[in-house]
Amino acid sequence: MQRAAEECEVIEPTANQTTRFDIQAFVDLLISDDMEQAHAVADRVIVLSGGRDALLRDLLTPAAQHLGVLWEQDVCDFTTVTLGVYRLDQIMRHTAATVLEPEIVLSHERHALLLPAPGEQHSFGLNMVADIFRESGWCVRSGPAVPKAKLLDLVKGEWFDMVGFSVTADRSL
């Protein structure tokens, strides 16, 4: 997979152009489990683009979307896509650790609950949103989907300034 790592080039932005990344080559790194190169690409994106927001917006989000397309087109199987998204989550967590400071994480001024809707499995985008809220000083409760009864008990038992759900289909609304 050295070829994919070499092809994963960051194109320098012009005055009116955001930095673009070779998403396919980056996804190749993820699905081949070349995490050393994948982390190197992520670190380079942060340095060249000036921050983690660009990493989330310009690399991790399109990579997750591309993995979804590979699944929909039957190019990759469930296990490959799941492992690819897991590795994206690893990169997101690794970069969050360099951004979040303990005093921000422990701030309890604003509380948010962010979960997949009952029965849903997708959580990568929701985890990204949770990280952004944490970086902004929110106390965020997040995790896997919980049954509806447990969710209602949770919302009744605690105060949340905001509650957000990840849904993939109208049936979950």
Residues 25 and 95 in one domain: yes
- Residues 7 and 25: beta-carbon distance below 8 Å: yes
Last residue of a domain, one of 43, 69, 99: 99
Within this chain, do residues 118 and 84 fall inside the same structural domain, yes or no?
Answer: no
Verify that 87 and 111 share a domain, yes or no: no
Nearest to 165, CA basis, from 149, 143, 136, 133: 143
On whether both 91 and 6 belong to a single domain, the answer is yes
Q: Final residue of a domain: which of 72, 99, 126? A: 99
**pLDDT on residue 22:** 87
pTM exceeding the 0.75 threshold for the entire prediction: no
Let me know whether 138 and 54 are in one domain: no
Under 8 Å CB-to-CB from 52, ≥6 apart: which residues? Answer: 46, 95, 96, 99, 135
Question: 115 and 145 in contact (C-beta within 8 Å)?
Answer: yes
The residue range of the domain holding 6 is 2-99
Provide block-wise average pLDDT over 10 residues at a time, the chain (173 residues). 41 40 90 95 88 90 95 94 95 77 55 91 88 88 89 90 87 70
Q: Which long-range contacts (CB under 8 A, 24 or more apart) does 148-155 make?
A: 148/118, 151/115, 151/118, 154/113, 155/113
Please indicate, yes or no, whether residues 81 and 40 belong to a single structural domain of this protein.
Answer: yes
Out of 55, 83, 99, pick the residue that ends a domain: 99
Do 37 and 5 meet the contact criterion of CB atoms below 8 Å apart?
Answer: yes
Q: Percent of the chain scored above 90 by pLDDT?
A: 46
31 and 81 share one domain: yes
Maximum CA pair distance of the chain? 53
